[in-house]
Amino acid sequence: MGRWWFGGFLIAVALAVAAVNGYPEEDLVVNLPGQPKVGFRQFAGYVDVDEKAGRSLFYYFVEAEKDAETTPLTLWLNGGPGCSSIGGGAFTELGPFYPAGDGRALRRNSMSWNRASNLLFVESPAGVGWSYSNTSSDYTRGDAATAMDMQIFMMKWFEKFPELKSRDLFLTGESYAGHYVPQLADLLLDHNARSTRFKFNIKGIAIGNPLLKLDRDIPAAYEFFWSHGMISDEIGLTIMNECDFDDYTNASPHNVSHSCNDAITEANGIVSNYINQYDVILDVCYPSIVEQELRLRKMATKMSLGVDVCMTLERRFYFNLPDVQKALHANRTNLPYKWSMCSGVLNYNEADGDINILPILKKIIQRRVPVWVFSGDQDSVIPLLSSRTLVRELAHELKFKITVPYGAWFHKGQVAGWATEYGNLLTFATVRGAAHMVPYAQPSRSLHLFSSFVHGRRLPNNTRPSIDD
Protein backbone atom coordinates (compact mmCIF):
# COMPACT_ATOMS: atom_id res chain seq x y z
CA MET A 1 0.00 0.00 0.00
CA GLY A 2 2.84 2.36 0.95
CA ARG A 3 4.66 1.72 -2.33
CA TRP A 4 1.50 2.43 -4.38
CA TRP A 5 0.97 5.66 -2.43
CA PHE A 6 4.58 6.76 -3.02
CA GLY A 7 4.27 6.00 -6.74
CA GLY A 8 1.06 8.02 -6.90
CA PHE A 9 2.78 10.89 -5.06
CA LEU A 10 5.63 10.94 -7.63
CA ILE A 11 3.14 11.00 -10.49
CA ALA A 12 1.29 13.92 -8.83
CA VAL A 13 4.56 15.84 -8.42
CA ALA A 14 5.51 15.16 -12.05
CA LEU A 15 2.13 16.41 -13.22
CA ALA A 16 2.43 19.57 -11.11
CA VAL A 17 5.85 20.33 -12.61
CA ALA A 18 4.59 19.60 -16.12
CA ALA A 19 1.64 21.93 -15.54
CA VAL A 20 4.00 24.87 -15.16
CA ASN A 21 5.77 23.91 -18.42
CA GLY A 22 9.19 25.23 -17.54
CA TYR A 23 7.72 28.58 -16.46
CA PRO A 24 8.82 29.89 -13.02
CA GLU A 25 6.69 27.99 -10.53
CA GLU A 26 7.33 30.58 -7.81
CA ASP A 27 5.64 33.24 -9.98
CA LEU A 28 2.52 31.18 -10.70
CA VAL A 29 -0.61 33.03 -9.55
CA VAL A 30 -2.73 30.23 -8.16
CA ASN A 31 -5.88 32.27 -7.65
CA LEU A 32 -6.64 35.95 -7.20
CA PRO A 33 -9.17 36.86 -4.48
CA GLY A 34 -12.69 36.79 -5.90
CA GLN A 35 -11.45 35.60 -9.30
CA PRO A 36 -13.82 33.72 -11.64
CA LYS A 37 -12.59 30.27 -12.62
CA VAL A 38 -10.60 30.23 -15.88
CA GLY A 39 -8.68 27.69 -17.93
CA PHE A 40 -5.50 29.72 -18.53
CA ARG A 41 -2.58 30.43 -16.21
CA GLN A 42 -1.28 33.69 -14.77
CA PHE A 43 2.19 34.57 -13.51
CA ALA A 44 3.39 37.64 -11.63
CA GLY A 45 6.55 38.74 -9.89
CA TYR A 46 9.76 40.72 -10.21
CA VAL A 47 12.67 40.96 -12.60
CA ASP A 48 15.82 42.60 -11.22
CA VAL A 49 17.12 45.03 -13.85
CA ASP A 50 19.97 46.34 -11.67
CA GLU A 51 20.88 44.13 -8.71
CA LYS A 52 23.53 46.52 -7.38
CA ALA A 53 21.07 49.42 -7.19
CA GLY A 54 18.26 47.12 -6.08
CA ARG A 55 16.06 48.15 -9.02
CA SER A 56 13.27 45.74 -9.93
CA LEU A 57 10.31 45.86 -12.27
CA PHE A 58 7.03 44.10 -11.51
CA TYR A 59 5.26 42.13 -14.24
CA TYR A 60 1.99 40.30 -14.81
CA PHE A 61 1.79 37.65 -17.52
CA VAL A 62 -1.38 35.91 -18.63
CA GLU A 63 -1.53 33.05 -21.08
CA ALA A 64 -3.77 33.04 -24.12
CA GLU A 65 -7.15 31.41 -23.62
CA LYS A 66 -6.40 28.77 -26.26
CA ASP A 67 -3.25 27.36 -27.85
CA ALA A 68 -1.01 29.31 -25.47
CA GLU A 69 1.98 27.21 -26.51
CA THR A 70 1.83 28.51 -30.13
CA THR A 71 0.13 31.91 -29.76
CA PRO A 72 2.19 35.13 -30.07
CA LEU A 73 3.43 37.16 -27.10
CA THR A 74 2.31 40.79 -26.76
CA LEU A 75 3.90 43.31 -24.43
CA TRP A 76 1.58 46.14 -23.33
CA LEU A 77 2.80 49.38 -21.75
CA ASN A 78 0.69 52.22 -20.37
CA GLY A 79 2.01 55.76 -20.46
CA GLY A 80 1.84 58.69 -18.06
CA PRO A 81 4.78 58.89 -17.92
CA GLY A 82 4.64 57.02 -14.64
CA CYS A 83 1.36 55.09 -14.86
CA SER A 84 0.80 51.39 -14.29
CA SER A 85 0.40 48.97 -17.18
CA ILE A 86 -1.03 46.40 -14.77
CA GLY A 87 -3.60 48.75 -13.31
CA GLY A 88 -4.42 50.21 -16.72
CA GLY A 89 -3.98 47.66 -19.50
CA ALA A 90 -4.26 44.47 -17.46
CA PHE A 91 -7.17 45.20 -15.12
CA THR A 92 -9.29 47.92 -16.73
CA GLU A 93 -8.66 47.61 -20.45
CA LEU A 94 -7.51 44.49 -22.29
CA GLY A 95 -6.71 41.89 -19.62
CA PRO A 96 -8.92 38.93 -18.65
CA PHE A 97 -10.42 40.54 -15.53
CA TYR A 98 -12.06 43.77 -14.42
CA PRO A 99 -12.57 44.75 -10.78
CA ALA A 100 -16.04 43.95 -9.48
CA GLY A 101 -18.21 46.80 -8.26
CA ASP A 102 -17.45 46.14 -4.58
CA GLY A 103 -13.67 46.44 -5.03
CA ARG A 104 -13.13 43.03 -3.41
CA ALA A 105 -13.48 40.65 -6.35
CA LEU A 106 -13.02 40.37 -10.11
CA ARG A 107 -15.34 39.85 -13.05
CA ARG A 108 -14.47 38.37 -16.43
CA ASN A 109 -13.61 40.55 -19.42
CA SER A 110 -15.06 38.49 -22.27
CA MET A 111 -13.23 40.68 -24.82
CA SER A 112 -9.76 40.25 -23.33
CA TRP A 113 -6.90 40.41 -25.78
CA ASN A 114 -5.69 37.07 -24.42
CA ARG A 115 -8.23 35.57 -26.80
CA ALA A 116 -5.65 36.38 -29.52
CA SER A 117 -2.27 36.44 -27.73
CA ASN A 118 -0.30 35.74 -24.59
CA LEU A 119 -0.09 39.06 -22.73
CA LEU A 120 2.74 40.64 -20.72
CA PHE A 121 2.28 43.81 -18.66
CA VAL A 122 5.12 45.64 -16.90
CA GLU A 123 5.08 48.46 -14.36
CA SER A 124 7.81 50.70 -15.76
CA PRO A 125 9.94 52.59 -14.83
CA ALA A 126 10.89 51.87 -11.18
CA GLY A 127 8.63 53.90 -8.90
CA VAL A 128 5.49 52.94 -10.86
CA GLY A 129 3.05 50.67 -9.04
CA TRP A 130 4.98 47.89 -7.27
CA SER A 131 8.21 48.40 -9.24
CA TYR A 132 10.88 49.88 -7.00
CA SER A 133 14.53 50.69 -6.39
CA ASN A 134 16.61 50.68 -3.22
CA THR A 135 18.52 53.66 -4.66
CA SER A 136 16.50 56.88 -4.31
CA SER A 137 18.17 58.56 -7.29
CA ASP A 138 16.61 55.86 -9.52
CA TYR A 139 13.27 57.60 -9.09
CA THR A 140 14.57 60.39 -11.31
CA ARG A 141 14.16 58.90 -14.78
CA GLY A 142 13.69 59.77 -18.42
CA ASP A 143 13.00 58.10 -21.75
CA ALA A 144 16.53 56.74 -22.36
CA ALA A 145 16.89 55.09 -18.93
CA THR A 146 13.34 53.72 -19.11
CA ALA A 147 13.99 52.10 -22.50
CA MET A 148 17.31 50.59 -21.34
CA ASP A 149 15.71 49.12 -18.22
CA MET A 150 12.95 47.62 -20.35
CA GLN A 151 15.51 46.06 -22.69
CA ILE A 152 17.25 44.45 -19.69
CA PHE A 153 13.85 43.40 -18.36
CA MET A 154 12.94 41.67 -21.64
CA MET A 155 16.27 39.81 -21.78
CA LYS A 156 15.90 38.59 -18.19
CA TRP A 157 12.18 37.86 -18.47
CA PHE A 158 12.88 35.52 -21.38
CA GLU A 159 15.35 33.70 -19.12
CA LYS A 160 12.42 33.07 -16.78
CA PHE A 161 10.22 32.02 -19.71
CA PRO A 162 12.63 30.40 -22.22
CA GLU A 163 9.74 28.64 -23.98
CA LEU A 164 8.63 32.05 -25.31
CA LYS A 165 12.00 33.24 -26.67
CA SER A 166 11.28 32.26 -30.26
CA ARG A 167 7.62 33.31 -30.18
CA ASP A 168 6.34 36.11 -32.43
CA LEU A 169 6.63 39.30 -30.33
CA PHE A 170 4.38 42.35 -30.63
CA LEU A 171 5.03 45.60 -28.74
CA THR A 172 1.95 47.65 -27.89
CA GLY A 173 0.79 50.46 -25.64
CA GLU A 174 -1.01 53.78 -25.46
CA SER A 175 -0.54 57.46 -24.68
CA TYR A 176 3.03 58.18 -23.47
CA ALA A 177 3.82 54.64 -24.61
CA GLY A 178 3.99 56.46 -27.95
CA HIS A 179 7.48 57.17 -26.58
CA TYR A 180 8.07 53.95 -24.61
CA VAL A 181 7.17 51.42 -27.34
CA PRO A 182 9.08 52.86 -30.34
CA GLN A 183 12.14 53.63 -28.17
CA LEU A 184 12.15 50.06 -26.81
CA ALA A 185 11.58 48.59 -30.28
CA ASP A 186 14.54 50.62 -31.57
CA LEU A 187 16.82 49.22 -28.84
CA LEU A 188 15.66 45.64 -29.39
CA LEU A 189 16.17 45.92 -33.14
CA ASP A 190 19.65 47.36 -32.55
CA HIS A 191 20.34 44.36 -30.30
CA ASN A 192 19.17 42.04 -33.10
CA ALA A 193 21.53 43.72 -35.57
CA ARG A 194 24.51 43.13 -33.24
CA SER A 195 23.67 39.75 -31.76
CA THR A 196 24.97 36.51 -33.19
CA ARG A 197 22.84 34.52 -30.72
CA PHE A 198 19.42 35.39 -29.30
CA LYS A 199 17.28 37.83 -31.31
CA PHE A 200 13.88 39.29 -30.41
CA ASN A 201 11.31 38.01 -32.88
CA ILE A 202 9.57 41.38 -33.33
CA LYS A 203 6.65 41.17 -35.75
CA GLY A 204 5.00 44.57 -35.25
CA ILE A 205 4.25 47.51 -32.99
CA ALA A 206 0.88 49.12 -32.30
CA ILE A 207 0.32 52.32 -30.32
CA GLY A 208 -3.01 53.84 -29.33
CA ASN A 209 -3.66 57.60 -29.05
CA PRO A 210 0.12 58.00 -28.81
CA LEU A 211 2.15 61.07 -27.94
CA LEU A 212 4.33 61.34 -31.04
CA LYS A 213 5.08 65.02 -31.57
CA LEU A 214 4.09 67.39 -28.80
CA ASP A 215 3.88 70.57 -30.88
CA ARG A 216 1.28 68.86 -33.08
CA ASP A 217 -0.59 66.83 -30.47
CA ILE A 218 -1.21 69.80 -28.13
CA PRO A 219 -2.93 72.17 -30.60
CA ALA A 220 -5.12 69.26 -31.76
CA ALA A 221 -6.51 69.01 -28.22
CA TYR A 222 -7.77 72.61 -28.33
CA GLU A 223 -9.09 72.11 -31.86
CA PHE A 224 -11.01 69.12 -30.49
CA PHE A 225 -12.47 71.25 -27.64
CA TRP A 226 -13.60 73.87 -30.12
CA SER A 227 -14.99 71.47 -32.75
CA HIS A 228 -16.99 69.64 -30.06
CA GLY A 229 -18.55 72.81 -28.65
CA MET A 230 -16.64 72.58 -25.38
CA ILE A 231 -15.11 76.08 -25.56
CA SER A 232 -16.38 79.33 -27.07
CA ASP A 233 -15.51 80.72 -30.49
CA GLU A 234 -13.69 83.57 -28.78
CA ILE A 235 -11.35 81.26 -26.85
CA GLY A 236 -10.91 78.90 -29.79
CA LEU A 237 -10.01 81.76 -32.14
CA THR A 238 -7.65 83.29 -29.57
CA ILE A 239 -5.77 79.99 -29.27
CA MET A 240 -5.59 79.61 -33.07
CA ASN A 241 -4.41 83.20 -33.59
CA GLU A 242 -2.23 83.80 -30.52
CA CYS A 243 -0.53 80.43 -30.03
CA ASP A 244 2.57 79.45 -31.95
CA PHE A 245 2.87 75.77 -31.09
CA ASP A 246 5.98 75.15 -33.21
CA ASP A 247 8.28 75.53 -30.20
CA TYR A 248 5.79 74.28 -27.58
CA THR A 249 7.50 72.59 -24.64
CA ASN A 250 6.10 70.10 -22.15
CA ALA A 251 7.41 72.02 -19.15
CA SER A 252 5.42 75.07 -18.02
CA PRO A 253 5.18 77.91 -19.19
CA HIS A 254 5.34 75.93 -22.48
CA ASN A 255 7.35 78.54 -24.40
CA VAL A 256 4.26 80.35 -25.73
CA SER A 257 3.05 83.94 -25.32
CA HIS A 258 1.22 85.22 -22.23
CA SER A 259 -1.98 85.72 -24.24
CA CYS A 260 -1.75 82.11 -25.49
CA ASN A 261 -1.13 80.75 -21.99
CA ASP A 262 -4.09 82.75 -20.64
CA ALA A 263 -6.38 81.37 -23.38
CA ILE A 264 -5.20 77.79 -22.76
CA THR A 265 -5.74 78.18 -19.00
CA GLU A 266 -9.24 79.56 -19.62
CA ALA A 267 -10.09 76.71 -22.00
CA ASN A 268 -8.91 74.10 -19.48
CA GLY A 269 -10.98 75.77 -16.75
CA ILE A 270 -14.15 75.76 -18.87
CA VAL A 271 -13.80 72.10 -19.85
CA SER A 272 -13.30 71.42 -16.11
CA ASN A 273 -13.17 68.28 -14.00
CA TYR A 274 -16.77 67.43 -14.81
CA ILE A 275 -15.81 66.24 -18.29
CA ASN A 276 -13.65 63.17 -18.76
CA GLN A 277 -11.12 64.56 -21.22
CA TYR A 278 -9.99 61.01 -22.05
CA ASP A 279 -13.52 60.23 -23.28
CA VAL A 280 -15.71 63.30 -23.67
CA ILE A 281 -18.99 61.40 -24.04
CA LEU A 282 -18.67 59.36 -20.83
CA ASP A 283 -20.04 60.61 -17.52
CA VAL A 284 -17.58 61.11 -14.66
CA CYS A 285 -17.24 59.20 -11.40
CA TYR A 286 -17.19 61.07 -8.08
CA PRO A 287 -14.27 59.64 -6.07
CA SER A 288 -15.40 60.69 -2.58
CA ILE A 289 -18.77 58.94 -3.00
CA VAL A 290 -17.20 55.77 -4.43
CA GLU A 291 -14.55 55.48 -1.72
CA GLN A 292 -17.24 55.70 0.96
CA GLU A 293 -19.35 53.04 -0.80
CA LEU A 294 -16.38 50.68 -1.10
CA ARG A 295 -15.50 51.05 2.59
CA LEU A 296 -19.13 50.24 3.46
CA ARG A 297 -18.99 47.16 1.21
CA LYS A 298 -21.52 48.62 -1.22
CA MET A 299 -21.47 48.35 -5.01
CA ALA A 300 -19.77 51.41 -6.47
CA THR A 301 -20.51 50.68 -10.14
CA LYS A 302 -21.71 53.62 -12.22
CA MET A 303 -22.55 52.76 -15.82
CA SER A 304 -22.25 55.26 -18.66
CA LEU A 305 -22.75 54.06 -22.25
CA GLY A 306 -22.05 50.50 -21.16
CA VAL A 307 -18.83 51.38 -19.30
CA ASP A 308 -18.31 51.31 -15.53
CA VAL A 309 -16.76 54.75 -15.10
CA CYS A 310 -15.85 54.01 -11.46
CA MET A 311 -13.76 50.97 -12.42
CA THR A 312 -10.48 52.77 -11.76
CA LEU A 313 -11.40 53.45 -8.12
CA GLU A 314 -12.63 49.89 -7.62
CA ARG A 315 -9.27 48.72 -8.98
CA ARG A 316 -7.24 50.89 -6.59
CA PHE A 317 -9.22 49.53 -3.64
CA TYR A 318 -8.71 45.93 -4.84
CA PHE A 319 -4.95 46.27 -5.45
CA ASN A 320 -4.39 47.61 -1.94
CA LEU A 321 -5.95 44.56 -0.29
CA PRO A 322 -3.14 42.55 1.41
CA ASP A 323 -4.53 39.23 0.11
CA VAL A 324 -4.42 40.53 -3.48
CA GLN A 325 -0.80 41.66 -3.16
CA LYS A 326 0.13 38.31 -1.63
CA ALA A 327 -1.57 36.37 -4.44
CA LEU A 328 0.28 38.48 -7.06
CA HIS A 329 3.66 38.14 -5.25
CA ALA A 330 3.65 41.95 -5.27
CA ASN A 331 5.03 44.59 -2.90
CA ARG A 332 7.76 42.29 -1.64
CA THR A 333 9.60 45.20 0.04
CA ASN A 334 6.53 46.64 1.83
CA LEU A 335 6.69 50.00 0.07
CA PRO A 336 5.98 53.03 2.31
CA TYR A 337 3.08 54.11 0.08
CA LYS A 338 -0.10 52.57 -1.32
CA TRP A 339 -0.41 51.23 -4.85
CA SER A 340 -1.73 53.93 -7.16
CA MET A 341 -2.38 54.05 -10.89
CA CYS A 342 0.13 56.86 -11.48
CA SER A 343 3.29 57.29 -9.44
CA GLY A 344 3.64 59.83 -6.67
CA VAL A 345 7.37 59.14 -6.19
CA LEU A 346 8.65 59.21 -9.78
CA ASN A 347 10.37 62.37 -10.98
CA TYR A 348 10.22 62.01 -14.77
CA ASN A 349 12.14 64.31 -17.09
CA GLU A 350 9.52 66.67 -18.52
CA ALA A 351 11.78 67.70 -21.40
CA ASP A 352 11.61 64.17 -22.82
CA GLY A 353 7.97 64.84 -23.69
CA ASP A 354 9.31 67.20 -26.38
CA ILE A 355 11.09 64.39 -28.27
CA ASN A 356 9.84 63.87 -31.83
CA ILE A 357 9.15 60.12 -32.19
CA LEU A 358 8.59 60.12 -35.97
CA PRO A 359 12.29 59.57 -36.86
CA ILE A 360 12.31 56.48 -34.59
CA LEU A 361 9.15 55.12 -36.23
CA LYS A 362 10.77 55.73 -39.61
CA LYS A 363 13.81 53.61 -38.59
CA ILE A 364 11.54 50.81 -37.35
CA ILE A 365 9.52 50.74 -40.58
CA GLN A 366 12.70 50.82 -42.68
CA ARG A 367 13.61 47.58 -40.91
CA ARG A 368 10.37 46.12 -42.32
CA VAL A 369 8.53 46.03 -39.00
CA PRO A 370 4.81 46.91 -39.43
CA VAL A 371 3.53 49.86 -37.40
CA TRP A 372 -0.12 50.48 -36.50
CA VAL A 373 -1.31 53.74 -34.94
CA PHE A 374 -4.89 53.63 -33.67
CA SER A 375 -7.06 56.35 -32.15
CA GLY A 376 -10.19 56.36 -30.05
CA ASP A 377 -12.22 59.15 -31.61
CA GLN A 378 -13.68 60.50 -28.35
CA ASP A 379 -10.27 61.39 -26.88
CA SER A 380 -9.47 65.08 -26.50
CA VAL A 381 -6.07 64.50 -24.85
CA ILE A 382 -4.29 63.14 -27.95
CA PRO A 383 -6.96 63.37 -30.64
CA LEU A 384 -7.04 61.45 -33.91
CA LEU A 385 -6.59 64.78 -35.78
CA SER A 386 -2.91 64.99 -34.88
CA SER A 387 -2.13 61.25 -35.08
CA ARG A 388 -3.69 60.93 -38.53
CA THR A 389 -1.75 63.95 -39.83
CA LEU A 390 1.54 62.72 -38.39
CA VAL A 391 1.09 59.23 -39.86
CA ARG A 392 0.36 60.75 -43.26
CA GLU A 393 3.50 62.92 -43.04
CA LEU A 394 5.57 59.92 -42.01
CA ALA A 395 4.24 57.96 -45.01
CA HIS A 396 5.14 60.88 -47.27
CA GLU A 397 8.69 60.97 -45.87
CA LEU A 398 9.02 57.23 -46.46
CA LYS A 399 7.71 57.79 -50.02
CA PHE A 400 4.96 55.24 -49.33
CA LYS A 401 1.92 55.06 -51.56
CA ILE A 402 -1.58 54.48 -50.20
CA THR A 403 -2.22 50.72 -50.23
CA VAL A 404 -5.66 50.94 -48.58
CA PRO A 405 -7.60 54.18 -49.18
CA TYR A 406 -9.10 55.88 -46.13
CA GLY A 407 -12.50 54.32 -45.44
CA ALA A 408 -14.73 52.63 -42.90
CA TRP A 409 -13.88 49.30 -41.29
CA PHE A 410 -16.59 47.05 -39.88
CA HIS A 411 -17.27 44.90 -36.84
CA LYS A 412 -20.51 43.00 -36.15
CA GLY A 413 -22.20 44.63 -39.14
CA GLN A 414 -21.50 48.19 -37.99
CA VAL A 415 -18.86 50.82 -38.72
CA ALA A 416 -16.16 50.25 -36.10
CA GLY A 417 -13.99 53.13 -37.28
CA TRP A 418 -12.00 54.33 -40.27
CA ALA A 419 -8.61 53.19 -41.52
CA THR A 420 -5.94 53.69 -44.13
CA GLU A 421 -2.67 51.93 -44.95
CA TYR A 422 0.57 53.10 -46.55
CA GLY A 423 3.23 50.95 -48.22
CA ASN A 424 1.88 47.70 -46.70
CA LEU A 425 3.73 48.61 -43.48
CA LEU A 426 2.06 51.65 -41.90
CA THR A 427 -1.58 51.63 -40.79
CA PHE A 428 -3.70 54.33 -39.19
CA ALA A 429 -7.09 53.35 -37.76
CA THR A 430 -9.74 55.02 -35.66
CA VAL A 431 -12.03 53.16 -33.27
CA ARG A 432 -15.51 54.67 -33.25
CA GLY A 433 -16.85 55.64 -29.84
CA ALA A 434 -13.56 54.79 -28.10
CA ALA A 435 -11.68 56.67 -25.43
CA HIS A 436 -8.01 57.56 -25.03
CA MET A 437 -7.94 54.06 -23.48
CA VAL A 438 -9.46 52.32 -26.52
CA PRO A 439 -10.14 48.84 -25.02
CA TYR A 440 -11.77 50.42 -21.94
CA ALA A 441 -14.60 52.07 -23.88
CA GLN A 442 -14.83 49.73 -26.89
CA PRO A 443 -13.64 46.26 -25.80
CA SER A 444 -15.21 44.32 -28.69
CA ARG A 445 -14.03 46.65 -31.47
CA SER A 446 -10.57 46.93 -29.94
CA LEU A 447 -10.23 43.13 -29.79
CA HIS A 448 -11.14 42.92 -33.48
CA LEU A 449 -8.50 45.55 -34.28
CA PHE A 450 -5.87 43.80 -32.15
CA SER A 451 -6.65 40.34 -33.59
CA SER A 452 -6.28 41.74 -37.11
CA PHE A 453 -2.95 43.31 -36.15
CA VAL A 454 -1.37 40.17 -34.63
CA HIS A 455 -2.64 37.94 -37.43
CA GLY A 456 -1.32 40.26 -40.15
CA ARG A 457 -4.80 40.93 -41.54
CA ARG A 458 -6.25 44.17 -42.82
CA LEU A 459 -9.36 45.51 -41.13
CA PRO A 460 -12.53 44.44 -43.01
CA ASN A 461 -13.73 47.24 -45.28
CA ASN A 462 -17.16 45.81 -46.05
CA THR A 463 -19.99 44.14 -44.21
CA ARG A 464 -22.86 41.80 -45.04
CA PRO A 465 -25.73 42.28 -45.54
CA SER A 466 -25.95 45.60 -47.38
CA ILE A 467 -27.93 48.19 -45.46
CA ASP A 468 -30.18 48.58 -48.52
CA ASP A 469 -31.14 44.89 -48.64
Residues assigned a catalytic role: 175, 379, 436
Which residues, other chains included, contact 313 with Cβ-Cβ below 8 Å and sequence gap of 6+? Answer: 103, 285, 287, 290, 291, 294, 300
CA angle centred on 391, ends 379 and 141, rounded to 5°: 70
Task: Provide φ and ψ at 74, rounded to 5°.
Answer: -120, 125
Nearest to 307 by CA among 281, 270, 273: 281
Task: Report in angstroms the alpha-carbon separations of 26 from 11, 44, 47.
Answer: 20, 9, 13
| Amino acid making up residue 301 | T
- In the chain, how long is the greatest CA-to-CA distance? 90
Nearest to 294 by CA among 34, 88, 100: 100
| Helix, strand, coil percent values for the chain (each to nearest 5) | 40, 20, 40
Distance between CA 144 and CA 344 in Å, rounded? 21
Nearest to 263 by CA among 290, 293, 231: 231
Which residues, other chains included, contact 446 with Cβ-Cβ below 8 Å and sequence gap of 6+? Answer: 94, 111, 113, 431, 434, 438, 439
